[in-house]
Chains A and B, each alone.
Chain A
Amino acid sequence: DGGITQSPKYLFRKEGQNVTLSCEQNLNHDAMYWYRQDPGQGLRLIYYSQIVNDFQKGDIAEGYSVSREKKESFPLTVTSAQKNPTAFYLCASSISGSNEQFFGPGTRLTVL
């Protein structure tokens, strides 16, 4: 089955800890994205990558970091510098030049 997977589905973290969210796709898509979704605010872009070994900051990149060492993988690290990290995180991918993004099932992060 082709698709995009995120793990874990639920994640709990203590304040001051870094945590890494996984995103993997087997759709052979060049572009990958990370969004954060909060109630009433829709999707806000954190980082995106159009090609391996290259990525750009989105609108709310502070306190987050990413890497794109492989085409299939785009992990997101939520660092202790992120002031309000509790949210639903969505990863997406697309063919470059396409108007369709395919989304993963999301990871719900809760900071205790």
Chain B
Amino acid sequence: QKEVEQDPGPLSVPEGAIVSLNCTYSNSAFQYFMWYRQYSRKGPELLMYTYSSGNKEDGRFTAQVDKSSKYISLFIRDSQPSDSATYLCAMMPNFNKFYFGSGTKLNVKP
């Protein structure tokens, strides 16, 4: 079983839709949770990070962590074609090693 599971998609939505991206994990020691965005043929860039359970909002993006269910989500409101990318979740038990999901490819149609 992988440490981090993520649906690869692709996920296709119309412009303006609310997008929900999710990851599940098995290691209860994970404390830090990140979402990276990766455009085609580019390196990933950090979008958001959260520590422990709860919600964090940044503009159109909301990151949610439910440690009791070992489940994290990224919500994108009013999605735009420029949001089309692969979204990778990542998590850490400490500041030593990152564990990445396989990435979900999102396509926002104009």
Chain A residues close to B by CB (< 8 Å): 33, 35, 40-45, 48, 58, 90, 92, 96-106, 108
Contact = CB atoms under 8 A, between A and B. Distances in A.
Contacts of A90: 43-44
Contacts of B46: 100-102
Contact of A103 (B45, B95, B102): B45
A45 B102 contact: no
19 contacts: A33-B98, A35-B100, A40-B8, A42-B4, A43-B44, A43-B100, A44-B100, A45-B97, A48-B97, A58-B97, A97-B95, A99-B34, A99-B51, A99-B95, A100-B34, A102-B46, A103-B44, A104-B43, A106-B41
B61 interface: no
Q: How large, as a class, is the contact surface on chain B?
A: 20 to 34
A97 B32 CA distance: 12
A101 B97 CA distance: 11
A53 to B, nearest CB: 18
Given A90-B43, A97-B95, A101-B98, 18 more contacts: A33-B98, A35-B100, A40-B8, A41-B102, A42-B4, A42-B88, A42-B100, A42-B102, A43-B44, A43-B98, A43-B100, A48-B97, A99-B32, A99-B49, A103-B43, A103-B44, A104-B43, A106-B42
